[in-house]
Amino acid sequence: MFRLSKVLASGVTALAVAAGLTVLGPSASAEAVPETIPLTIKNSSGRSEPVYVYNLGTQLSTGRQGWADANGTFHPWPAGGNPPTPAPDASIAGPADGQTRTIRMPKFSGRVYFSIGQKIVFKLTTGGLVQPAVQNPSDPNRNILFNWSEYTLNDAGLWINSTQVDMFSAPYAVGVKGADGAVRNTGRLKPGGYDAVFGQLRAAGWGGLIQNGPDGTPLRALSPGHGIASGGIPSGVMNDYIDRVWNKYRSSTLTVTPFAHQPGTKYYGRVSGDVMNFTNGSGTVVTSFRKPDSDSVFGCYKLLDAPNDLVRGPLSRTLCAGFNRSTLLTNPDQPDANSSGFYRDAVTNHYSRIVHGQMADGKAYGFAFDDVGAHESLVHDGSPQAAFMTLEPFH
């Protein structure tokens, strides 16, 4: 369940427009974006183990899946099998502690993985690459320390993020330098933030999300959707809040203004039975949502499915953000722009609350649609000159 990759792969432009951003089309900026740009990886982790880097994704010019080597050259995956067969070794030797390594990023929608101490195990099925799924205790990467950034580089520029949608693990920050020479960064933890995330999860009663390595130290914290699947937190952990929201809007109206650049476009939600119906200004029902379960809330999928359209998707994104941030009871006008009111209810997405709280700039991808209101850890430039990834200290 790597939903953010799908968002970046198929919906960067649509989602940016939904957020009120200006996106340059290929005719405006194609000449400004070369076929590859440099990605400089700096190792400030303080760890002595070797680092391995992988650049995996979809080649946008052809739609083929594969990997890029250090020079940015694309290599398609060979045919896989059933059961899955080992993938070619796509690893690039990363920098030692205190050093940097520069590789080239091609026009991809994909991920830059890094692992510390051991190479990641990748396999291929008849359907393509098998991504690590460490919520499965039998996954071969369960005891490997690794993380990844997601990015899209295309004719409209570079989008690159630090993501915690699936897990919080080895700390890193990302950055992009534009044509003006300015560098925008995000993803950096506060001093001591790495340990603080694990400590605060335990204090909140969500310590079951933490996966420890063989030596007993934390490797990662799973996101709560994966935590439900693996038994780390109860499957109904958000049910009380969900029930209260549904009861509130039986007798009052939830107003959603999904597009920042279209303040006149509003939809109105009321609950009847087990269903919240949204109407437009003419009173016509445009879409309906059954009462979601906790997993739908955390994953922004299933009963909160968000197709890449202009009605249901934007409404689902807004509901998802309101549930995760626990703002639907305190503000009937969504999305809520005031982050000071986020995560205030006792029943909330404590994982996202804690991760956001330990970020130096307050930005994180604590759940798939954390970009509602631009609270996500994403940087973008329409004319990128270079990208950066910094492996951060663990303490």
Any residues with CB less than 8 A from the CB of 68 and at least 6 apart, and which?
A: 55, 56, 57, 74, 75, 103, 104, 105, 106, 108
State the Cα angle at 382 between 169 and 318, rounded to 5°.
60
Separation of alpha carbons 140 and 121, rounded Å? 6
Catalytic residue among 35, 89, 150, 336: 150
- DSSP character string of 81-102: -SS-EEPP---EE-PPTT-EEE
Instruction: Note if 150 is an active site residue.
Output: yes
* Residue 125 exposed, middle or buried by CB count within 10 Å (0-12, 13-18, 19+): middle
For residue 221, which phi and psi values (nearest 5 degrees)? Answer: -120, 125
Query: Distance (Å, rounded) from C-alpha 341 to C-alpha 344?
Result: 6
Q: How far apart are CA 357 and CA 309, in angstroms?
A: 32
Report DSSP state, residue 219.
Answer: E
Beta bridge mates, 154: 157
Catalytic position from the list 31, 89, 97, 166: 166
- Residues that are catalytic: 150, 166
